[in-house]
């Protein structure tokens, strides 16, 4: 069947800067045609000026990620007609959250800098021999599958708001090494990742895990980095304090005590800054009143579960 493909293009050499425009192409689509097949056909038969990246054509090299109908996909492993039927259109654009070089080619400079920033190699402590069990390996296994296609950073909502955010791809790589039992600088890594623009800035939009073509689940890596940081006592930051306040609140009353949590997370001085907001909330009857926070029924069960979890870990 013949379908229309819209490609978001820009030609900085001609225009002096990347001024994007949409160009429509007509393609004879077959059932077995991938997005990359279609692009290669267009370049060889219709328009040799379309720029895009590709290499292995087998979803291993991670070169060909593009935005398809608004969501990042590997062009080589995405069949075109099912996507066309689902959305009623095929719109190809460069990945979001990256500067565009030309057409579908984006600048990965920031991506690589973030990778370098998490020291992506193992640094064992000297002298000791560590045995790696299957369970140890399984804990970091998903992070090792990353092909660095950059899809996760492209859909990350934290990255959208703050380009300095460490990002899902570098977080997954960070867990690959911080979670390795042979690593000698685990705590140091966790400290660095707990700084501003670090793993606590993740808004848990779950985009990274949803759109990773390799099932890396960067969000899981971020959650593991966070819980390891808390366990290692790297807690002098709002994110970790928030988590500790939550655990304390659930253990005490079985649920979330909003006022106490804000206070414990932000500390005295920053909570002070929230007072005008609090007054506004109070006027609308929205201010949570901690004193009238009754515990849930059978709260002892919750406390027993807290103790039992801790005990089972030691066994």
Partner 1 sequence: MTLRYAYYPGCASQAITKESNDTTRKAAALLGIELCDMPAANCCGAGLLKDYDYMLHLSLNARIFSQAEKMGLDILTICSTCLMIMRTANDDMKRDAGLLEKVNRILFEAGLEYKGTIEVKQLLWVLKKDYGLERLKKKVTRPLDWLKAAPFYGCHSLRPSSALGFDDPENPSSLEDVLRSLGAAVVEYGGRTKCCGFQADLVNLDSAVALTADRLLDAKNNGADCVVTPCPFCHINLDNYQAMAEKKAGTKISLPVFHLSQMVGLSMGMTPVELGLHRHLVTPKNV
Interface residue with partner 1, options 190, 202, 216, 234 (CB under 8 A): 202
Least gap, CB of 238 to partner 1 (angstroms): 5
Least gap, CB of 28 to partner 1 (angstroms): 25
Contact 38, 27 (CB under 8 A): yes
Interface residue with partner 1, options 158, 189, 193, 234 (CB under 8 A): 158
Site for partner 1 in 220-259 (CB under 8 A): 223-224, 226-227, 230-231, 237-239, 242-244, 246-247, 249-250, 254-256, 258
Least gap, CB of 270 to partner 1 (angstroms): 9
Number of other residues whose CB lies within 10 A of the CB of residue 2: 7
d(CA 154, CA 288): 37
Contact 198, 161 (CB under 8 A): no
How far out from the chain centre does Cα 11 lie?
A: 30
Site for partner 1 in 24-63 (CB under 8 A): none
Length of the chain: 315
Size of the residue set binding partner 1 (CB under 8 A): 65
Number of other residues whose CB lies within 10 A of the CB of residue 109: 11
Encoding tokens for residue 241?
A: 């304090």
Closest CB to partner 1 among residues 124, 288: 288
Least gap, CB of 2 to partner 1 (angstroms): 23
Contact 53, 149 (CB under 8 A): no
Interface residue with partner 1, options 20, 70, 120, 233 (CB under 8 A): 70
Closest CB to partner 1 among residues 61, 299: 299
The yes or no reply on residue 308 touching partner 1 (CB under 8 A) is yes
Which range, of 12-20, 99-107, 115-123, 294-302, touches partner 1 by CB under 8 A? 294-302
The yes or no reply on residue 14 touching partner 1 (CB under 8 A) is no
d(CA 35, CA 25): 13
The yes or no reply on residue 314 touching partner 1 (CB under 8 A) is no
Encoding tokens for residue 4?
A: 């229309």
Interface residue with partner 1, options 196, 233, 272, 275 (CB under 8 A): 196
Least gap, CB of 217 to partner 1 (angstroms): 8
The yes or no reply on residue 275 touching partner 1 (CB under 8 A) is no
Interface residue with partner 1, options 181, 206, 232, 260 (CB under 8 A): 206
How far out from the chain centre does Cα 194 lie?
A: 15
Closest CB to partner 1 among residues 87, 275: 87
How many CA within 13 A on the CB side of residue 123?
11
**What is the distance in angstroms between the CA of the first residue and the CA of the last residue of the chain?**
63
Closest CB to partner 1 among residues 42, 261: 261
* Helix extents (H) in 68-185: 80-87, 109-117, 134-141, 151-155, 157-161, 168-178
Number of other residues whose CB lies within 10 A of the CB of residue 217: 21
* Interacting residues of 227 by C-beta distance below 8 A, sequence separation 6+: none
Encoding tokens for residue 34?
A: 């991938």
Which residues lie near partner 1 (CB under 8 A)?
A: 69-71, 86-87, 157-158, 160-162, 165, 196, 200-207, 209-210, 223-224, 226-227, 230-231, 237-239, 242-244, 246-247, 249-250, 254-256, 258, 262, 265-266, 280-281, 284-286, 288, 296-298, 300-302, 304-309, 312-313
């Amino acid at each position: 069947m013949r379908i229309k493909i819209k490609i978001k293009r820009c030609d900085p050499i001609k225009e002096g800067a990347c001024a994007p425009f949409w160009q429509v192409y007509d393609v004879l689509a077959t059932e077995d045609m991938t997005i990359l097949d279609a692009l290669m056909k267009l370049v060889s038969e219709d328009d040799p000026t379309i720029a895009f990246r590709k290499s292995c054509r087998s979803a291993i090299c991670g070169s060909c990620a593009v935005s398809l109908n608004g969501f990042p996909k590997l062009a080589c492993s995405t069949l075109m007609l099912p996507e066309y039927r689902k959305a009623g259109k095929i719109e190809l654009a460069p990945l979001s959250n990256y500067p565009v070089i030309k057409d579908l080619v984006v600048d990965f400079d920031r991506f690589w800098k973030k990778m370098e920033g998490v020291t992506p190699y193992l640094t064992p402590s000297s002298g000791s021999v560590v045995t790696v069990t299957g369970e140890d390996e399984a804990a970091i296994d998903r992070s090792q599958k990353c092909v660095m296609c950059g899809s996760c950073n492209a859909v990350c909502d934290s990255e959208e708001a703050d380009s300095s955010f460490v990002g899902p791809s570098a977080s997954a790589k960070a867990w690959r090494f911080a979670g390795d039992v042979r690593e000698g600088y685990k705590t140091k890594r966790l400290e660095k990742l707990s700084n501003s623009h670090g793993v606590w800035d993740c808004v848990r939009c779950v985009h990274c895990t949803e759109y990773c073509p390799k099932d890396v689940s960067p969000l899981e890596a971020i959650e593991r980095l966070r819980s390891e940081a808390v366990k290692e006592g790297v807690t002098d930051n709002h994110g970790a304090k928030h988590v500790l306040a939550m655990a304390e609140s659930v253990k005490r009353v079985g649920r979330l005590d909003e006022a106490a949590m804000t206070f414990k997370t932000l500390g005295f001085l920053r909570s002070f800054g929230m007072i005008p907001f609090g007054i506004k909330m109070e006027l609308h009857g929205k201010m949570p009143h901690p004193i009238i926070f009754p515990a849930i029924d059978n709260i002892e069960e919750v406390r027993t579960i807290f103790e039992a979890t801790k005990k089972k870990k030691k066994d």
